[in-house]
Amino acid sequence: MKRFLVFLFLSVLIVCSWGCERAEEPAAEPAETQETAVEEKPSAEMTELMVKTATVKAVDYDTRVVVLEDPEGNVVAFEAGEEVRNLAQVEVGDQVVARFLRSVAVAVRPADEEVPAGAELTRVAVAAPGEKPGILMADTKEMAALVKAIDRENRLVTFEGPEGGLAVFKVADQVNLDAVEVGENLVVVYTEALGISVEEPAAEEL
């Protein structure tokens, strides 16, 4: 139930943001020959990337202790476990780069369209032998929430999660709520990825 509420909270924020951005676009002139307008289902995607770096100040290959210093001068020492391959390739002056990626994609799907029952996929990749240490971890969650009720006057939508729990959210004015119907599904795909790599320092410019 908690995961369901978190997913819905994220998806409503994204859809509201999408609606606000779309509202700034000029409305297209209707075609004279068009008799029935087709409502576009709300959908959106947001991706955020954060990058942090640190410099290797010391390496003890026997005890596997590595000392790092960040750009602000903070120093930390940690023991690299056996899962950290190729520690012998790490040298003083190397850069440790951590990249964190977060992506949320949401879309309203018609009632007759097949939607995911809910799944989670975790992937892990490590550096090949002989290369500098590196690891990539990615976790993707996918779920669908059923639209159970719509209060168009107050712009409230009630969703039912995969486990049967209900949650009510207020939708921003910019979102085309007329394009959403009871019985449709809100599909959410949430991905988090963390990559940590050891890189040689950039060559200094002359």
Percent pLDDT > 90 in the chain is 35
Higher pLDDT: 27 or 92? It is 92
Min mean pLDDT across 12-21, 44-53, 82-91, 170-179 is at 12-21
Summarised one tens digit per residue, pLDDT across range 3-42 is 554 555 555 554 444 444 443 444 444 444 444 445 677 7
Summarised one tens digit per residue, pLDDT across range 111-127 is 888 776 677 889 989 88
| pLDDT at residue 204 in the model | 57
Mean pLDDT confidence for 32-59 = 77
| pLDDT at residue 51 in the model | 94
Q: Is the pLDDT of residue 61 over 50?
A: yes
Termini Cα distance of the chain: 58
**Measured between alpha carbons, how far is 173 from 199 in angstroms, rounded to an integer?**
47
Phi-psi region of 38 (alpha: psi -120 to 50; beta: other; left: phi over 0): beta
**Measured between alpha carbons, how far is 138 from 136 in angstroms, rounded to an integer?**
7
Mean pLDDT confidence for 70-99 = 91
Q: What is the pTM for the complete model shown?
A: 0.65
Summarised one tens digit per residue, pLDDT across range 172-200 is 787 788 888 999 988 888 899 999 999 98
**Measured between alpha carbons, how far is 203 from 206 in angstroms, rounded to an integer?**
9
| pLDDT at residue 192 in the model | 92
Strand partners, 60: 65
Summarised one tens digit per residue, pLDDT across range 140-169 is 988 888 899 999 999 898 988 877 788 888
Burial profile 128-146: b = 16 or more Cβ within 10 angstroms, e = fewer: eeeebbbeeeeeebbbbbb
SS3 96: strand
| pLDDT at residue 154 in the model | 92
